[in-house]
Amino acid sequence: MSLGHPPPDDIIQSGIFIQQLTPIGDSLIGSFFVGILPLLVVLVLLGIFRIPAYYASFTGLVVCVFIAIFGWKMPATQAFESIGNGIVYANWPIMWIVFNAMYIYNITVRSGIFHLFRQWMISSTPADMRVILIIVGFCFGALLEGVAGFGVPGAICSSIMVSLGFDPVDALVYTLIFDTTPVAFGALGTPVTTLASLTGLPVLSLSAMMGRQLPLVSLFLPAYALIFYAGPRAGWIECWPMAVVAGISFAVVQAIFANFVGPELPDLIAGLVSLMAVIWFVQYWKPPYRPEFEANVNSILHDGPLIKQQQEETIEEIPQQQEGNKQCVQYDVQKTSNVSSQEEEACPTFEKLSWKLTALAWSPWLIIVIVVIIWTFVEVSTKGQIKVEWPHLHQQVWLTLYGKKYDAIWVFQPLGTGTAILVSSIPFSALVLLHGVHPRVFTAALKDTFVQLYKPIVTVSFIMAFAYLYNYSGIVYTIGYQLASVGKAFPFVSAWLGWVGKVYNAVSCFLSGSDTSANSLFGNLQVVAAREIGLSAVLMAATNSSGAVTSKMISPQNLTTGVSTIGLQGQEGRILRRTILHSIVMCCFMGIIACIQQYAIPGIIPSET
């Protein structure tokens, strides 16, 4: 590959900032190692020194500022303008989406609906944490990712799992592991449509190619997580039927919709179908009873008025004990010396919700799904949007790798996805009030949301500032260019470019947690490199996105949002140390799939036209 596109004379004379690909000793490899220093600082502080994410991201940003200004010769004004651009983007749209989703979640907690949802889960499915891991972590998490994303599935699903007996670290780790294959088609296909618009490749070809990669991971993901969570015997030998149902139902639907419909609905519909399939399946099949995996509802966060109302409803009792597959809920009862050991071992009964309360328990999530789908397909988000050309940055940077001026446009969408989620809270709030809940729960939920998210907001602001500076200084393009200079091994490295893309930029997943961002950053690089080497541009661009999803589980933005609801604030490093190896293994797997598809079965690759 030629070393970028030298700027024409008029660009040089205009005085705009020209990104350098080899600023350190005119060496690409030397510049590469200097360029990764800010990222290593963040990883080391988070994973080794266990520094809270907001300190780690701020330190990484400071290091990046010095390297960008003194190493890549970026003017200080533009460096700080890119930081400002990143901070604004962090808060709108990213944290606006997260804030409103968490506000609705906190309303459910304060009103008691969250407890109803837990009670529905514990009474309508086997009270086994292995079952809950698949239903909540995999199926329900995919549904939420298909609608919102940006760490929302991790925060909400992990909180539900903790309330049902999971260790908080386990709950978040496995939720993040599951939140991989749904990401590429998340937010109703936005990452794929963005990739198509940037590369000029057909959106249906890209969607189909991803639909021939990601379902291979989706198929085995439930079994993979169960084995690591419960061990080979309790996780696979005892639970393989459920893992197969979850994996096949999700993977098949994901593949069909991605190949024959388009990128908008694969994960949303796959998550919904998988959720219904697993819930239906466990009505007739249950894993062997193991006390160490018995779920419980000990932690009642807020006994809202709906709990009293629920107790007054007509209920259907589940038998206290079932022969063969024992199913029970262990409540936190204070035992005394008068209680016999036989009584201690008996399972308490639990109540099954009426249809009315079941609908109420599911109402917030169903309302969000319906509103966001309508909002997206009617294109409400584009109404009243304002495109702000960022001062001193827009068209003031020469993107050497692609040979063009760099745009810096912040699109302010007052009616974006975050607003759609806020609008969803209106019918849900009305429903809550109709069931006798006092209006003060809304102010209490708002306060809870601020308390939970003020540190994540600061963290994500630093992360996105770091990411935007990495981007506009040109550091990230040096790193990407070095990784792309590997010749025939490029299909394997292509997945790592997506991973690195998520690692390095606001348009990337390690830092921003956004597959859309990773596609924006390295999508064109994948196409240029593929055509120069003689590989499929569709395959390489799709692999960029497929590889990128595997690093979402180590994105500081997702980590800091995830810990906000389960009492682990400041402990993002603990989660990172548990997820990073899974991320690397999955990315290698995606790289191997790309190599096989390129060199062994090229007929599987869709046409570029």
Report the alpha-carbon distance of residue 359 to residue 530 in Å, rounded: 51
Report the alpha-carbon distance of residue 132 to residue 483 in Å, rounded: 40
Q: Which residue has the higher pLDDT, 516 or 316?
A: 516
Report the alpha-carbon distance of residue 407 to residue 478 in Å, rounded: 19
Cβ atoms of 76 and 94 within 8 Å: the answer is: no
Report the alpha-carbon distance of residue 282 to residue 99 in Å, rounded: 34
Only one residue has tokens 């708002």, namely: 446
CA angle 520, 523, 524 (to 5 degrees): 105
Return all residues near 261 (Cβ < 8 A) that are at least 6 apart.
none
Helix 53-66 / helix 76-89 crossing angle, nearest 10 deg: 150
Lowest mean pLDDT among 9-13, 23-27, 527-531, 575-579: 527-531
Residue 481 identity: Y
**326 φ/ψ sector (left φ>0, alpha ψ -120 to 50, else beta):** beta
The helix (H) or strand (E) run that includes residue 38 is: helix 37-47
Cβ atoms of 380 and 65 within 8 Å: the answer is: no
Give me Rg for the CA atoms of the chain.
25
Mean pLDDT, all residues of the chain: 83
Return all residues near 423 (Cβ < 8 A) that are at least 6 apart.
371, 375
Local confidence band at 348 (pLDDT 50, 70, 90 cut-offs): very low
Query: pLDDT, tens digit, for every residue of 430-468?
Result: 999 998 899 999 999 999 999 999 988 998 899 889 888
DSSP-H helix ranges across 90-239 = 96-111, 113-124, 129-132, 141-147, 152-163, 168-178, 186-199, 203-210, 214-231
Answer yes or no: is pLDDT of 322 > 50: no
Provide the terminal-to-terminal Cα distance of the chain, rounded to the nearest Å: 24
Q: Could you tell me how many residues make up the chain?
A: 609
Cβ atoms of 490 and 529 within 8 Å: the answer is: yes
pTM above 0.85?
no
Query: pLDDT, tens digit, for every residue of 367-418?
Result: 998 998 899 889 898 899 999 999 999 999 998 888 889 889 898 999 988 9
Answer yes or no: is pLDDT of 479 > 90: no
So what's the pLDDT on residue 242? Answer: 97
Local confidence band at 303 (pLDDT 50, 70, 90 cut-offs): very low
So what's the pLDDT on residue 524? Answer: 65
Torsions phi, psi for 17 (to 5 deg): -75, 125
Query: pLDDT, tens digit, for every residue of 108-143?
Result: 999 999 888 888 888 889 989 999 999 999 999 998
- Residue among 292, 368, 271, 15 at smallest CA distance from 127: 292
So what's the pLDDT on residue 3? Answer: 63
Q: What is the mean pLDDT of residues 276-280?
A: 96
